Structure 1
Amino acid sequence: MTNNQLQITGSRHQDERGIITYNNDFDASQIKRIYTIENHSTDFIRGWQGHKIEQRWFSCMKGSFEISVIVVDNFTNPSKYLIIQKYLLTDDVLTYLHIPSGCITAIQAKEEGSKLLVLADYGLGEINDEYRFDLNYFDKS
C-alpha cells in the first residue's frame, strides 16, 4: 500500500464568489451507505476496527484527521507486528482515502470539532463483517 494507491486527491477553487472543494476523480458508484464521525476529543483514538470484505472511503469535512491503516494478515489471530501506515486528511481539499477490504483503521481527530465523512460499499446489516482489536494490540513498544 502506498499513498498513491489509497488517496484520491481532490482540489480547491477560489474566486470572488467563494470556495469550491471537489474531487472529479472519485467514482462513487459502489457507495451504499454514508455517515460521519466526530470524535469527542483529540486525545481519543477510534480503533482498531475494520472489515475483511467491506471497503470504506474517508474524507475530512472539517478540521483534520490522522488515519492509521493496517492490512490484516489473519482476522482470527493477526500478527502483532504488522505495518501501520498513517495518512493525514484535512478539509482544505476533497481528498478521499480508500480503505480496501482486509484492512483495519484507527482514527484520531487532530483538531477540536473535526468531522469525517465515511462512505461504505455495503448497507447497514447487509453482511456480518466487523472486526475490532484492542488499541494497544499492535503496539510494538
Structure 2
Amino acid sequence: MNIAKPKIIKGGCFKDERGTVSFINDFNMSSIKRMYAIKHESLQTIRAWQGHKIEHKYFKCTKGSFAVAWKKIDNYKCPSDLPLPEYHILKASENQILSIPPGYMNGLKAIEKNAEILVFSNLNLEASLKDSIRFENKLWLDWFNNIR
C-alpha cells in the first residue's frame, strides 16, 4: 500500500494600499468536516501521541509557533521505536498548513506562550473518537531537548 506522507501546503499574500490578503489556495477543504482551535498557555504542555487509521488532520498556526510532530504507525497496538518521529515548526508569521494523512500519529507543543493553532479534520467528532489511538507523550521524542 502506498501511504501518503505528511507535507507542507504553502500559501502566500498580496499587499496593497488597502491592506493584506493572506491565502492558501492549494489547501483543498472539500473533505473537511470540522475545525477546532488549541491554545497552549504553558510551554510545558504536550499533546501527544494521537494516531489515526482513517482521519486526515491539517494544522495551521494562528498565533506564535508550535512544534508539530508525526510518526508513521507500523503497529496500532504496539508501535516500534523506528522510524523516529519527524517534526516541523509552524509559525503564525509563515502562511502554511501541515497535512498529516491517515496512518500517522501526531503530537504538538507550543514554542511560544499563548500560541494558538487551528486543526482541521476530515472526520466528525464521533468518527474521530472511534478512530483514535493514543500513546504516552514521553515516547519517541524528547519534546524539551530535541525540538529546535
Superposition TM-score, scaled by structure 1 size: 0.88
CA contact (8 A) 2:50 2:105 kept: yes
Aligned to 1:22: 23
SS at match of 1:126: helix
Give the equivalent residue in structure 1 for 2:12: 11
Query: Any gaps of 5 or more consecutive residues in structure 2?
Result: 143-148
Which amino acid in the other structure matches residue 55 of structure 1? H
CA distance in structure 2 between the partners assigned to 1:105 and 1:5 by the alignment = 10
Q: Structure 1 residue runs of 4+, over 3 Å off?
A: none
Q: Which amino acid aligns with 1:100?
A: P
Q: Which residue of 2 aligns with 1:117?
A: 118
For residues 12 and 139 of structure 1, the distance between their equivalents in structure 2, rounded to whole angstroms, comes to 34
Unpaired segments ≥5 residues, structure 1? none
Q: Deviation at 1:118?
A: 0.5
TM-score by length of 2: 0.84
> What is the root-mean-square deviation in Å for CA atoms of aligned residues?
1.8
User: Per-residue CA shift, 1:75-111, capped at 9, x if unaligned?
Assistant: 1110023221111111123311101001111201111
More displaced 10-residue stretch of structure 1: 18-27 or 116-125: 18-27
Q: Residue 133 of structure 1 corresponds to which residue in structure 2? A: 135
Aligned length: 137
C-alpha deviation, 1:5, in angstroms: 5.6
